[in-house]
Amino acid sequence: MPQLRKDPVAKRWVIILHEQDNKPEDLIIPPAPKQVSVCPFCEGNEPMTTPEVMSYRKQGTLPNEAGWEVRVVPNKFPALQIEGELDRAGIGVYDMMNGVGAHEVIIESPIHNANFDTYSEEHVALILTAYADRYKDLRRDRRFRYILIFKNSGAAAGASLDHPHSQLIATPIVPKRAMEELEGAKNYYYYKERCVFCDIIRQEIAQGERIVYENENFVAFTPFASRFPFETWIAPKDHKDSFGDIEEREIKGLAETLKAVIMKLNVTLKNPPFNYVIHTSPCGDQAADYYHWHIEIMPRLSKIKAFEWGSGFYINPITPEKAASYLLNAKTQE
């Protein structure tokens, strides 16, 4: 019989088809053929992008020229615009404001076909440092309430370019998904006077059956109420509400964990399209006691259909325990 599981944070229910004997190969989506064209993100094509906001580059090289390792540029077609004021307004029951925000692209490597299989841990740490540096800079802008950092890898995951990149969008409102987590975490804290994420992390480590990877500072696991097959979360073991407060010493441990998990997914699922999102507390929010930042990684192995859209339920065709076992035992080349 299928099993209903409840997420203890967002109070979301998930249907787990635990009796189906699905294996990773049953869920793999064949990759779409790649379109070859001139890539604006490749080294040497810097004039094809907007002027860079920041970059980490070789000594003696100049901005907007070759010689960089990680480069951040404003999105050429931004979802939100950095200039202007919000000018909040209402028309009857409808609220609106100007689309003010920031939309940036973190170009992860000058090499077009680079990926987590080819990145060194030091390079992953450099990418994460770029995330943190841009987060810390943008949260000083009082117009912004939330900063979302995410990666779309593969066309099926929403990537419009093959070249490895991540994105950052700063918004003047807190997104609905973040609000659900914040409210759930706050309610749990007021009831038990503990962080729900800390309790989850302690229980996952104690039980061990959904652990994918662990080091001194971070743990990766398949969540109990996984929405998607092979969904994996990475969380710091120490309580911290904002990704923007990550310390230099922690970035090394996060880079090791993120690279290890994505390589395990690549081996197990034959380089699947995936998304990852950094979940963090809002800018300037007093959520230090009850929220816990983390990364959610979601391989794109299934499509959301009418039932999911209409009901809010997700249907996962493989148990998180089985998924964790496959990932834990994946043989990766370091």
| Closest among 202, 240, 199 to 219, alpha carbons compared | 202
Say what the pLDDT of residue 214 is. Answer: 97
All residues at 6 or more sequence positions from 125 whose CB lies less than 8 Å from its CB, including other chains: 251, 252, 254, 255
Tell me: the pLDDT tens digits for 198-222?
A: 999 999 999 999 999 999 999 999 9
Q: Model-level pTM?
A: 0.90
Say what the pLDDT of residue 2 is. Answer: 53
Catalytic residue from among 18, 103, 123, 165: 165
Coil, helix or strand for 287?
Answer: coil
For residues 318 and 308, give the distance between their C-alpha atoms in angstroms, rounded to a whole number: 16
Tell me: the pLDDT tens digits for 96-135?
A: 888 889 999 999 999 999 999 999 999 999 999 999 999 9
Higher pLDDT, 55 or 1: 55
Contact 225, 5 (CB under 8 A): yes
Confidence grade of residue 6 (pLDDT, cut at 50, 70, 90): confident
Q: Which amino acid is at 51?
A: P
Known catalytic residue: 163?
A: no
Higher pLDDT, 90 or 5: 90
| Closest among 183, 193, 178, 121 to 146, alpha carbons compared | 178
Average pLDDT over residues 248-271: 96
Average pLDDT over residues 226-251: 95
In the chain, domain spans: 3-23+36-328
Contact 227, 191 (CB under 8 A): no
Choices 3.30.200.20, 3.90.1570.10, 3.30.428.10, 2.90.10.10: CATH for 3-23+36-328: 3.30.428.10
Coil, helix or strand for 242?
Answer: coil
